[in-house]
């Protein structure tokens, strides 16, 4: 059996993400609140020093967050390089997340939640859901990443591991980890400052086969806005 060549820009399936960008080029209106419907993704272009605020209206929803450098899509926000840079497997306010070229890209400037986020776990994709027992197509963050960029005609060279905002993956002293519900509450937000011009991609994670979006809960919407703040 021949296994098809991997094509990072080709989704395994589609949802309205592909035809519902915030604008044709991904530019947002400062101060306008945008919706990321449950199980979907959206992309927004950020200028250097611009701030992106991501909101968790219901409190239980994980946001898979990605960023790629404007005009250099092979440079992207990298969790493996960020772990080396900060020397931890958990992030804190004031941490600067770096690219695969170890350059500062995204800074956490404010976080209303208890600060439990994940930088270990890869984004969900179709093979992950198949491993969990799905027998049909399941919406996933890898495809939401792809479709969010396709919707604004942005190039895709790789599907990176995301900054999993509000995802709760506790790690024991023995190095074992588990999948737990978020500890965030309704209305929590996180504010991120761009250190370079980039495209931010957010997915309202469709995971409903583990409790990462809340024990017994279904994926729900997220919201975001862009601004310039000190």
Query: What integer is the mean pLDDT of 177-181?
Result: 97
Q: What is the DSSP string of 98-118?
A: EBTTS-EEEEEEEE-S----B
Burial class (CB in 10 A: 0-12, 13-18, 19+), 65: buried
Structure tokens at 48: 């250097």
Tens of pLDDT, residues 45-92: 999 999 999 999 999 999 999 999 999 999 999 999 999 999 999 999
Query: What integer is the mean pLDDT of 193-199?
Result: 98
Q: What is the pLDDT of residue 157?
A: 95
User: Whole-number mean pLDDT of the chain?
Assistant: 96
Q: What is the pLDDT of residue 1?
A: 64
Instruction: Answer whether residue 111 shows pLDDT above 70.
Output: yes
Instruction: Give the C-alpha separation, 107 to 89, whole Å.
Output: 16
* CA quadruple 52, 192, 81, 160: dihedral sign: negative
Q: What is the pLDDT of residue 167?
A: 98
Tens of pLDDT, residues 38-47: 999 999 999 9
Structure tokens at 195: 């250190």
Q: What is the pLDDT of residue 230?
A: 57
Instruction: Answer whether residue 212 shows pLDDT above 90.
Output: yes
Instruction: Give the C-alpha separation, 207 to 223, whole Å.
Output: 18
Global model pTM greater than 0.85: yes
Confidence of residue 217 (pLDDT cuts 50, 70, 90): confident
Confidence of residue 3 (pLDDT cuts 50, 70, 90): confident
Q: What is the pLDDT of residue 6?
A: 85
């Amino acid at each position: 059996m021949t296994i098809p060549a991997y094509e990072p820009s080709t989704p395994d399936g589609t949802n309205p993400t592909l035809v519902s960008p915030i604008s044709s080029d991904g530019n947002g209106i400062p101060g306008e609140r945008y919706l990321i419907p449950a199980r979907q993704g959206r992309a927004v272009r950020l200028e250097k020093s611009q701030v992106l605020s991501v909101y968790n209206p219901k409190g239980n929803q994980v946001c898979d967050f990605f960023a790629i450098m404007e005009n250099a899509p092979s440079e992207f926000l990298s969790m493996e390089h960020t772990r080396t840079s900060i020397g931890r497997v958990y992030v804190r306010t004031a941490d600067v997340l770096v690219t695969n070229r170890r350059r500062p890209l995204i800074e956490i400037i404010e976080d209303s939640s208890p600060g439990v986020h994940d930088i270990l776990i890869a984004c969900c994709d179709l093979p992950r859901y198949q491993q969990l027992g799905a027998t049909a197509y399941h919406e996933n963050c890898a495809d939401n990443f792809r479709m969010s960029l396709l919707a604004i005609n942005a190039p895709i060279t790789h599907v990176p591991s995301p900054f999993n905002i509000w995802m709760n993956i506790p790690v024991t002293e023995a190095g074992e980890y588990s999948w737990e519900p978020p500890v965030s509450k309704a209305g929590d937000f996180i504010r991120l400052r761009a250190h370079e011009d980039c495209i931010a991609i957010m997915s309202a994670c469709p995971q409903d086969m583990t409790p990462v979006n809340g024990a017994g809960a279904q994926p729900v919407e997220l919201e975001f806005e862009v601004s310039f703040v000190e």
